[in-house]
């Protein structure tokens, strides 16, 4: 990935030097070997903070909203899935096209940091990563590791049909072959096989442990209401109490609010501290194309 | 200090007995996560964990708590409070989490503002701590004088040594419990295991990877409410989800509201709240003294590293590392501390 990182820094530097943008939002090394963290770079000297590799799971697109009224333009580094979020934001008039510069990076998949951290020697420093097709090699100052994608990658990446950003102004790195996955909705099909009672029991179990932190909502590029219904106090549609009933109202309402607009970026699923399978919920096809005559038991 | 021994083979018996006589709250596994929940016996308890996903503070400050029911009859208002707390044993709290409870005590049991809901749970609960057998890369309890085998906050502290638990009796409450089950808590040979525990503690102390240095941080924050440091990336990347505060064992903010059924009946609840939310400081009339994420992020760290110290002479963090693991954007309190230390040094 060293080549991509170098190019990324050069492109960012150029954009900042030529004053095409005032800010570049990208990935920087995080405080754990297998994590990156969003970085906000406003000077050409700062670009050395940029990195790239299989630990860039975050979707940075939503940060663009924070700068929509800023005087200058903003560049953002996006993967394939994140680029769909940018389109969402453009379509929803959340950002204007002429104010953003999209730096697209073809993405070979993102690893779950917790799984990698469980294998790597604690405290080891990251040296280099490389994509080997079926696996990623990760070189550290405490030895070299290999992580096969099947077991270590985020679920969303296993069935990713847009490894190459679908919108970008600058592309960094080589385009990747595109595959179609029959099994993209396999988890949803499994749900569909269940009886109404089974489905209800399944989701009750998931929803009941929701902390209602709203990380899923806050990270979502579809959730852009200025005042979310769940934050309204007068009237208070949903109380702060966490119990199955209130939690279910939250989840069903949000599922309907993102229906047909969710870009399946998988961020809600990734950030949930309670591992609630939100991607599965938001992938449910009937929600994606809701019709009044849909049967009631589709969930 | 007294010590006892519990044979590992007898732990199930102990847990089953405790579950019969008390409300037993212990770590349980649910799918990929570990929580503290009320259990019916040893079979539900999951001990292969290092740090639960949510801390056991809910034993004393539940995420949802009904404080009273009310009925208004036209000329009188009737208030019914919940009955006495049940006798509870919290089993398996890790040392950081047990210590965290001691940071909550002065908040809820202060002389001026006692909180009966908290106190009655606290009084009625025996805390059995469980020393860690592994240190995670995110752990840094040592930085606040804690440690993987530290007994602060635990009435009894269990440390696994071979096929036994070495049990330190730290309080009178702990002693009463150990005496009650004296056929399980044996006194024989316990003292000989003290050295074994020392060794384990020493070995684990060498496993921490996060270097945390608080030198000058408090003084810096005392003198500077505004610092250019807070204009850095941290607030820009924070998504304001409050996950860090919900999973934290020392965070204790709550909101109070009424849930009215019909016109005259209802209940008053208190539920966890978080300083990371904009509504937290929103005032009637629309003013918000912490209008952006910058002020909110600053507040969280000011609370941990300064305000709690000012008020109670205790750091408001025990180094459990949960906020580091769970933050979706990798905001890391150890990095903040070390960065602030650097700012202080260069000042
Ligand atoms: S879904 Fe596709 S583009 Fe997005 S992180 Fe995974 S592999 Fe990359
Ligand atoms: S992120 Fe998870 S725990 Fe938080 S509100 Fe969403 S579903 Fe609930
Ligand atoms: S609902 Fe989830 S998957 Fe869909 S756009 Fe929002 S964060 Fe992404
Ligand atoms: S601030 Fe973070 S590390 Fe400190 S006690 Fe809270 S969750 Fe644990
Ligand atoms: S968990 Fe992280 S992103 Fe969420 S409020 Fe806390 S610091 Fe901000």
Domain ranges for chain A, please list them.
2-171, 185-283
pTM of the full structure: 0.94
Complex ipTM: 0.93
List the 310-329 stretch of B: residues with Cβ below 8 A of A. 324-326, 328-329
Q: Nearest CB to A123: which of B32, B137, B335?
A: B137
What atom in ligand 2 is closest to the CA of residue A215?
1
Q: What is the pLDDT of residue B336?
A: 97
Nearest CA-CA partner of A72 in A8, A12, A14, A24: A24
The tens digit of pLDDT for each residue in B256-298 reads 999 888 888 999 999 999 999 998 999 988 899 999 999 999 9
Rounded to whole angstroms, what are the CA distances from B11 to A246, A266, B14, B38? 38, 42, 5, 17
**Minimum Cα–Cα distance from A208: chain B residue:** B30
**Minimum Cα–Cα distance from B269: chain A residue:** A241
For chain B, percent of residues with pLDDT exceeding 70:
100
Three-state secondary structure call for residue A137: strand
Could you write out the three-class secondary structure of B169-228? ECCHHHHHHHHHCCCCCECCCHHHHHHHHHHHHHHHHCCCCCCCCCCCHHHHHHHCCCCH
User: pLDDT band at residue A287, thresholds of 50, 70 and 90?
Assistant: low
Contact yes or no for B21/B195 (Cβ under 8 A): no
Q: What is the pLDDT of residue B241?
A: 96
Strands A170-171 and A100-104: parallel
Contact yes or no for A168/A76 (Cβ under 8 A): no
Best-predicted range by mean pLDDT (A174-188, A281-295, B118-132): B118-132
What atom in ligand 4 is closest to the CA of residue B140?
3
What atom in ligand 2 is closest to the CA of residue A211?
3
CB-based contact, B266 to chain A, within 8 Å: no
Cα B284 to Cα B273: distance, rounded to the nearest angstrom: 18
Chain B positions touching A39 (Cβ under 8 A) are: 233, 237
Q: Which ligand is nearest to the CA of B320?
A: 4
Q: Is A66's CB within 8 Å of B279's CB?
A: no
Q: Ligand 4 within 6 A of B275 CB? A: no
Q: Nearest CB to A214: which of B210, B241, B247?
A: B241
Chain A positions touching B31 (Cβ under 8 A) are: 275
Rounded to whole angstroms, what are the CA distances from B41 to A195, B1, B12, B91, B167? 32, 29, 8, 11, 20
A285 Cα: distance to centroid of ligand 3 (angstroms): 14
Rounded to whole angstroms, what are the CA distances from B305 to B63, B188, B298, B340? 24, 44, 10, 11
The tens digit of pLDDT for each residue in A181-219 reads 888 888 888 888 999 999 999 999 999 999 999 999 999
Q: Nearest CB to A243: which of B64, B326, B331?
A: B64
Burial class of A71 by CB neighbour count within 10 A (0 to 12, 13 to 18, 19+):
exposed
Q: Nearest CB to B209: which of A114, A123, A241?
A: A123
The tens digit of pLDDT for each residue in B9-40 reads 999 999 999 999 999 999 999 999 999 999 99
**Joined tokens for residue B66:** 């009904």
- Could you tell me the strand order of the sheet in which A36-41 lies? A36-41, A23-29, A74-78, A100-104, A170-171
User: pLDDT band at residue A83, thresholds of 50, 70 and 90?
Assistant: very high
Q: Is B243's CB within 8 Å of A211's CB?
A: yes
**Angle subtended at Cα B178 by Cα B176 and Cα B181, rounded to the nearest 5 degrees:** 110
Contact yes or no for A231/A241 (Cβ under 8 A): no
Q: What is the pLDDT of residue A96?
A: 95
For chain A, percent of residues with pLDDT exceeding 70:
95
Q: Ligand 5 within 6 A of B327 CB? A: yes
Best of A23, A37, A41, A64 to mutate (most B CBs within 10 Å, chain B): A37
Q: Ligand 1 within 6 A of A163 CB? A: yes
The torsion angle over the Cα atoms of residues B278, B283, B288 and B293, rounded to 10 degrees, is: -20
Cα A268 to Cα A252: distance, rounded to the nearest angstrom: 14
Q: What is the pLDDT of residue B214?
A: 94
Residue A285 has pLDDT above 60, yes or no: no
Best of B49, B58, B237 to mutate (most A CBs within 10 Å, chain A): B237
Q: Which residues pair with B130 in a beta bridge?
A: B158
Q: Is B246's CB within 8 Å of A211's CB?
A: yes
Q: Ligand 4 within 6 A of B55 CB? A: no
Cα A261 to Cα B207: distance, rounded to the nearest angstrom: 47
Q: What is the pLDDT of residue B173?
A: 97
**Minimum Cα–Cα distance from B322: chain A residue:** A273
The tens digit of pLDDT for each residue in A85-108 reads 999 999 999 999 999 999 999 999
CB-based contact, B48 to chain A, within 8 Å: no
Domain boundaries along the sequence of chain B = 2-61+82-205, 217-251+276-346
The tens digit of pLDDT for each residue in B131-170 reads 999 999 999 999 999 999 999 999 999 999 999 999 999 9
**Minimum Cα–Cα distance from A33: chain B residue:** B137
Q: What is the pLDDT of residue B183?
A: 95
Q: What is the pLDDT of residue B191?
A: 87
CB-based contact, B194 to chain A, within 8 Å: no
Residue with tokens 């801390």: B55
Q: Ligand 3 within 6 A of A267 CB? A: yes
Residue A295 has pLDDT above 70, yes or no: no
User: pLDDT band at residue A289, thresholds of 50, 70 and 90?
Assistant: low
Which residues touch A190 (CB under 8 Å, ≥6 apart)?
A: none
Q: Is A209's CB within 8 Å of B334's CB?
A: no
Mean pLDDT computed over every residue of chain A = 92
The tens digit of pLDDT for each residue in B32-91 reads 999 999 999 999 999 999 999 999 999 999 999 999 999 988 889 999 998 878 899 999
The tens digit of pLDDT for each residue in B90-112 reads 999 999 999 999 999 999 998 88
């Amino acid at each position: 990935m060293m080549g991509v990182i170098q190019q990324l820094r050069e492109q960012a530097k150029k954009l900042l030097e030529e004053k095409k943008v005032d800010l570049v939002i990208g990935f920087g090394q995080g405080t754990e070997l297998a994590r990156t963290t969003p970085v906000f770079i406003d000077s050409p000297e700062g670009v050395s903070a940029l990195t790239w590799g299989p630990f860039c799971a975050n979707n940075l697109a939503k940060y663009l909203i924070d700068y929509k009224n800023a005087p200058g333009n903003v560049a953002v580094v996006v993967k394939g899935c994140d680029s769909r979020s940018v389109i969402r934001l453009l379509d929803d008039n959340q950002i204007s096209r002429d104010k953003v510069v999209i730096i697209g990076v073809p993405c070979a998949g993102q690893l779950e940091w917790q799984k990698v951290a469980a294998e790597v020697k604690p405290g080891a420093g990251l040296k280099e990563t490389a994509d080997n097709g079926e696996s990623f090699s990760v070189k550290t100052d405490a030895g070299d590791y290999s992580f096969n994608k099947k077991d270590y990658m985020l679920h969303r990446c296993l069935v990713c049909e847009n490894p190459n950003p679908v919108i970008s102004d600058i592309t960094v790195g080589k385009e990747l072959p595109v595959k179609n996955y029959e099994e993209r909705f396999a988890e949803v099909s499994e749900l569909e096989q269940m009886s109404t009672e089974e489905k209800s029991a399944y989701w009750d179990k998931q929803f009941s442990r929701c902390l209602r932190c709203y990380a899923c909502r806050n990270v979502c590029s579809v959730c852009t209401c200025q005042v979310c219904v769940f934050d309204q106090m007068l009237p208070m549609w949903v109380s702060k109490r966490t119990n199955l009933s209130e939690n279910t109202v939250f989840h069903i309402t949000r599922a309907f609010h993102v229906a047909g607009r969710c870009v399946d970026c998988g961020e809600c699923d990734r950030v949930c501290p309670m591992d609630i399978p939100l991607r599965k919920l938001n992938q449910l096809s009937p929600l994606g194309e809701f019709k009044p005559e849909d049967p009631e038991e589709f969930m | 200090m007294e010590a006892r021994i519990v044979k590992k083979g007898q732990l199930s018996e102990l847990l089953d007995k405790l579950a019969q006589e008390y409300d037993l709250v212990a770590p349980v596994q649910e799918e990929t996560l570990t929580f503290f929940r009320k259990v019916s016996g040893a079979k539900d308890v999951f001990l292969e964990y290092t740090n639960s996903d949510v801390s056991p503070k809910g034993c004393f400050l539940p995420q949802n708590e009904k404080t009273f029911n009310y009925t208004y009859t036209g000329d009188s208002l009737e208030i019914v409070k919940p009955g006495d707390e049940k006798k509870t044993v919290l089993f398996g709290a890790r040392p950081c989490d047990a210590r965290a409870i001691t940071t909550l005590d002065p908040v809820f049991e202060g002389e001026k503002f006692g909180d009966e809901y908290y106190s009655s749970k606290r009084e009625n609960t025996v805390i059995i701590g469980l020393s860690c057998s592994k240190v995670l890369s995110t752990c840094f309890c040592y930085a606040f004088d804690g440690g993987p085998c530290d007994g602060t906050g635990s009435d009894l502290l269990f440390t696994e040594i071979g096929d036994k638990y070495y049990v330190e009796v730290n309080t009178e409450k702990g002693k009463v419990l150990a005496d009650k089950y004296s056929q399980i808590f044996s006194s024989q040979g316990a003292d000989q295991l003290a050295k074994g525990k020392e060794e384990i503690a020493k070995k684990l102390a060498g496993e921490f990877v996060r270097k945390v240095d608080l030198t000058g941080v408090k003084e810096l924050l005392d003198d500077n409410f505004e610092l250019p440091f807070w204009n850095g990336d941290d607030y820009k990347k924070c998504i304001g989800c409050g996950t860090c505060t919900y999973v934290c064992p020392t965070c204790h903010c709550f909101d109070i509201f009424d849930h009215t059924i019909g016109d005259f009946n209802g209940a008053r609840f208190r539920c966890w709240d978080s300083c990371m939310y904009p509504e937290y400081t929103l005032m009637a009339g629309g003013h918000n003294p912490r209008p952006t994420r910058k002020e909110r992020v600053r507040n969280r760290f000011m609370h941990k590293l300064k305000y709690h110290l000012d008020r109670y002479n205790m750091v408001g963090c025990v180094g459990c590392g949960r906020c580091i693991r769970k933050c979706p954007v990798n905001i890391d309190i150890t990095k903040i501390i070390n960065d602030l230390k650097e700012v202080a040094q260069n000042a």
